[in-house]
Amino acid sequence: MADEWSRVTIVIADDERVVRDGMRLILTTQPDLEVIGTAEDGERALSLCLALRPDLLLLDVRMPGRDGLWTLDQLAARGRVAAGAPRVLMLTTFDIDEYIEQALGLGASGFLLKSASYEQLVGAIREACGVAPPPDAPPGGSRPPEGPTAGAPTITADPADLARLSSLTLQEREILTLLGRGLSDAMLAERLLLSEQAVGAQVRRLLVKTGCRDREQAADLARRVRGPWR
């Protein structure tokens, strides 16, 4: 496990690339946090954890195929979770999730809502690993850069478009990606396990934040920035 001022190494597992790369960009702003791998499913997450031995795994509860609970169970069976290598933070869409209790029972350190702010994400990681922010850490966390950053994935989209994404939560980024794929509110609700009313509210909030006139314009924005975000 990382000591107080060493880098915390992190693996991110989520089936949506927009979430994985959004988190990676957020964490590159912190001098003590380093993303060393990303996975799109539970099986890949397990492989990365066994090979890279990260300090922390950010693990989506619900993924196609092998989900987060399967990965956590496999790590627990190998004694990795009990040994704190890695610590595991579960990612979920809502705070009442029947899988969270199971995850905590298997040894997860906690869970984080995908609607969490940048500051909450960074704070939850440090708290799970028992480290304090270094003196040169941006106060209160930092928003992801709006242009290319050393160590971050190459971004080919228009910087002005990327700037419009900077205030979106992880879940809003996921919804934007799905809008770009043409999903209706009913399809989004089924995918995210939310009511259509809740999805409609999220879409409206997303439109305001990105300055999009309607969902068609938002879908067009999603397709334009599909590079590292999708």
Do 105 and 31 share a structural domain? yes
Q: Is residue 65 part of a domain?
A: yes
Q: What's the pLDDT tens digit per position in 40-51? A: 999 999 999 999
Rounded to whole angstroms, what are the CA distances from 175 to 60, 113, 125, 132? 16, 14, 24, 32
Whole-model pTM?
Answer: 0.65
Q: What's the pLDDT tens digit per position in 4-16? A: 457 899 999 999 8
Do 118 and 31 share a structural domain? yes
- In sequence order, the 6+-apart residues with CB closer than 8 A to the CB of 170 are 19, 22, 23, 91, 114, 115, 116, 121
Domain of 214, CATH number, reads 1.10.10.10
pLDDT for position 90: 92
Q: Is residue 139 part of a domain?
A: no
Nearest C-alpha neighbor of 11 from the set 32, 1, 33, 30: 33
Domain of 51, CATH number, reads 3.40.50.2300
Do 216 and 122 share a structural domain? no
Q: Which domain holds residue 172?
A: 159-229
Q: Is residue 144 part of a domain?
A: no
pLDDT for position 106: 87
Do 124 and 16 share a structural domain? yes
pLDDT for position 177: 86
Q: Mark which of 112, 129, 146 sits at the end of a domain.
A: 129
Q: What's the pLDDT tens digit per position in 113-155? A: 887 888 888 989 999 888 888 876 665 454 444 443 333 333 3
Do 88 and 21 share a structural domain? yes
The low-confidence residues of the chain, meaning pLDDT below 70, are 1-5, 81-84, 94-97, 136-159, 226-230
